[in-house]
Amino acid sequence: MIMTINEIEHSVFAEIHNTHTAKELEEVRARYLGRKGTLTSVLRGLAELSLEDRREIGPRAQALRDRIEEACEDRLQDFEATSETFFDVSFPGKKITVGHHNPLSLLIQDTEDIFLSLGFSVVDGPEVETEFNNFDALNIPANHPAREMWDTFWLKRAHNTEPRKLLRTHTSPVQIRYMQTHEPPFRIIVPGTTYRYEATDARHEMQFSQIEGLAVGETVTLANFKSIITAFFSRLFAQKVEIRLRPSYFPFVEPGVEVDATCPRCHKRGCELCTFTGWLELGGAGMVHPHVFDAVGYNPNTIQGFAFGVGAERLAMIKYGIPDIRLFRSSDLRFIQQF
């Protein structure tokens, strides 16, 4: 089938533009303008056309031939640049050293920003804590079997008369510090480093980061918590997330719940990340136990609130698909430079 002039016009210039060597260019030229070239055959066929058609097509075909020749000339110059004008745009750019955030910082900063927008302040606290703030004030008295839920690093004392100090096992003691110095209503989150005396593996660390949340006022409810935590996870994972609460036990809340979210990777269909359940266990929460309010001098009859805690590493592992919790503190720059 002979190509029409329109078809030739439509394809030839793109083909010329897409050549990368003089040889490729010559092949294209030959295809259109060579002895058996498509445009050449159009020109040859003119004789067989009616006078009227000849008058219309003839000049157009001639003009097209000139334009193709011109375009080939231009393109050829690109390939035949002299050493003086040679400029290799494909040469690699000069390397600029850029730094990288640890993914843990990215996750924590995202979390802070989301909660700031929900009206939560971001509060800091120390890593070395008193036994009172870490346990007793949180309704976990000494010898209570619940203390075994937190394996603790204790610090040596210079004298046995000093009160025992420890590395905080959760960020919850900051709840105590904050409530002792502030009056409700308030909403805070507390990101920070925490420690557990335990063997490390792909899912456990002896040092990790937690984000604690606390909202206290006269009318704060568990249903409010569900709303806030749904908003948080939906924004963190940039998709609509469903939240499921299940009964659980933490001495400093009552009722206490486990917080599950629909798996952001498979959207509840089931995948390896969620061990084919469609749900991910993302944290603990509940309504602040009246004993905790007692410990900080609030009136538990008029004040109530919710508290929650999530693991920053766990959320980062889900968000970025990181398989091993130990990578965060591995100091491996090949890992950090991915973020």
Identified catalytic residue from 42, 253, 259, 292: 253
Report in angstroms how near the CB of residue 290 gets to other proteins at its nearest.
6
Residues 16/28, Cβ–Cβ less than 8 Å: yes
Write down the catalytic residue from 28, 29, 150, 304.
Answer: 150
**Structure tokens, 316:** 């980062």
Q: Is 170 a catalytic residue?
A: yes
Shortest gap between Cβ of 222 and other proteins (angstroms)? 5
**Distance of closest approach, residue 93 Cβ to other proteins, in angstroms:** 16
Question: Out of 296, 307, 310, 312, which one is annotated catalytic?
Answer: 307
Euclidean distance between CA atoms 23 and 76, whole angstroms: 10
Nearer to other proteins, 37 or 251 (CB): 251
The CA distances from residue 104 to 50, 66, 192, 215, 236, in Å, are 78, 63, 11, 24, 13
Catalytic residue among 210, 241, 312, 314: 210
CB of 213 to other proteins, least distance (A): 13
**Cis, bond preceding 251 (omega within 30 deg of 0):** no
Closer residue to other proteins (CB): 2 or 223: 223
Our CB check for other proteins shows the closer of 191 and 283 to be: 191
Exactly one of 75, 168, 170, 314 is catalytic; which is it? 170
Q: Specify whether the CB–CB gap between 262 and 281 falls below 8 A.
A: no
Which is nearest to 112 in space by CA: 312, 273, 324, 339? 312
329 is catalytic: no
Pairing of strands 121-122, 186-195: parallel
Q: Give the Cα separation of 198 and 153 in Å (integer).
A: 9
**Catalytic status, residue 28:** no
Shortest Å distance, C-beta 328 to other proteins:
6
Nearer to other proteins, 58 or 290 (CB): 290
Residue 57 one-letter amino acid: I
**DSSP letters for 59-118:** HHHHHHHHHHHHHHHHHHHHHT--TTT---TTSPPPP-------HHHHHHHHHHHHHHHT
Mutual angle of helices 38-45 and 22-33, in 10-degree steps: 20
Residues 6+ positions from 129 with CB-CB distance below 8 Å: 165, 166, 167, 168, 173
Q: Provide the minimum distance between the beta carbon of 27 and other proteins in the complex, in angstroms, as a whole number.
A: 46
The answer to whether 307 is a known catalytic residue is yes
Which residue lies nearer to other proteins by CB, 33 or 104?
A: 104
**Residue of 168, 12, 152 whose CA lies nearest to 75:** 12
Nearer to other proteins, 40 or 105 (CB): 105
C-alpha to C-alpha distance for 315 and 111, rounded to whole angstroms? 10
Shortest distance, position 126 Cβ to other proteins, whole Å: 5
What is the dihedral angle through the alpha carbons of 294, 297, 302, 306, rounded to the nearest 10 degrees? -70
Question: What does the alpha-carbon distance between residue 67 and residue 318 come to, in Å, rounded to a whole number?
Answer: 58
Per the residue annotation, which of 65, 196, 289, 314 is the catalytic one?
196
Which are the catalytic amino acids? 150, 170, 196, 210, 253, 307
